[in-house]
Amino acid sequence: MKNNRNYWLSALCFLIFFMNFPINSFSNTVLGESVFPAEKSDVFVWETVNATESWYTEVDYIRFTATNIYNETNNDKNYLFVNYTLEFYHRISWVPEYINSFYMAYNKTLNFLNWSAEGFQHGNLFLFPTPVNYSLIGEAIKIAGFFQNYSFSGEKIVLDYENSTIIELTIDPSGISTIIERITNGTTIYRWELNTEDIIIKVPFGNYYLIILIISVMILVIVKKKKILMAFKQ
């Protein structure tokens, strides 16, 4: 009987553990002298810790997936290209914003960096080539023409719309934005922070889902015990 109980407890632990999934990978891809802080299929998740604008108050997580990393020749020059998928966990489901879209192109030797309009995602930049070159990032932003100005200090780069709205990106040495914050007239519209721990994604029934799962397993244990007792009596 004791071994049977241990079996079902182990099964319960496995089910709870299985509900978790890894959200961050800190590997990198090197193509020639170009380095990107991820490998194909790596996933990064940011959590909303503050939001005041209606749509963003219902966003729990932002998920960046590096869907493709490859070399491509353009004008007889080799570049590291990255495609990505961006999704928002809005209310109870993932809402895709871009799917396998062009994110950036990079060549360290040529001191070249460029993003697509989709890659900028209104100023939200997620991963950067390493070692992080703030001047190169700033100039790429300026050339793209999405922002009027930029500045940087320490591990932070500030993108300025010059209409009372800025995007502040805190970038760690590995090339990952640990904090993404949009501010308008001094008020935070949203602030996303890199989540480095495993998370359990919310599903319909909210916090009751895990409780239902535990109760279901307990019922299975009780039913199994009754069957064993009946078989023993016979």
Average pLDDT on 122-140 reads 90
CA end-to-end distance (rounded Å), the chain: 17
Q: What confidence score (pLDDT) does residue 9 get? A: 46
| Euclidean distance between CA atoms 144 and 146, whole angstroms | 6
Asked whether residue 141 carries a pLDDT value surpassing 90, the answer given is no
Asked whether residue 102 carries a pLDDT value surpassing 70, the answer given is yes
| Euclidean distance between CA atoms 155 and 174, whole angstroms | 11
Most confident listed range (51-55, 75-79, 208-212, 218-222): 51-55
Average pLDDT on 168-194 reads 96
Q: What confidence score (pLDDT) does residue 33 get? A: 82
Of 103, 114, 127, the residue nearest 46 (C-alpha): 127
Higher pLDDT, residue 222 or 119 = 119
User: Which structure tokens are listed for 182?
Assistant: 């949009």
Of 110, 25, 24, the residue nearest 73 (C-alpha): 110
- Which is it for strands 187-194 and 43-51: parallel, antiparallel or unpaired? antiparallel
| CA count, 13 A, side-chain hemisphere, 204 | 0
Asked whether residue 66 carries a pLDDT value surpassing 50, the answer given is yes
| CA count, 13 A, side-chain hemisphere, 14 | 7
225 alpha-carbon distance from chain centroid:
44
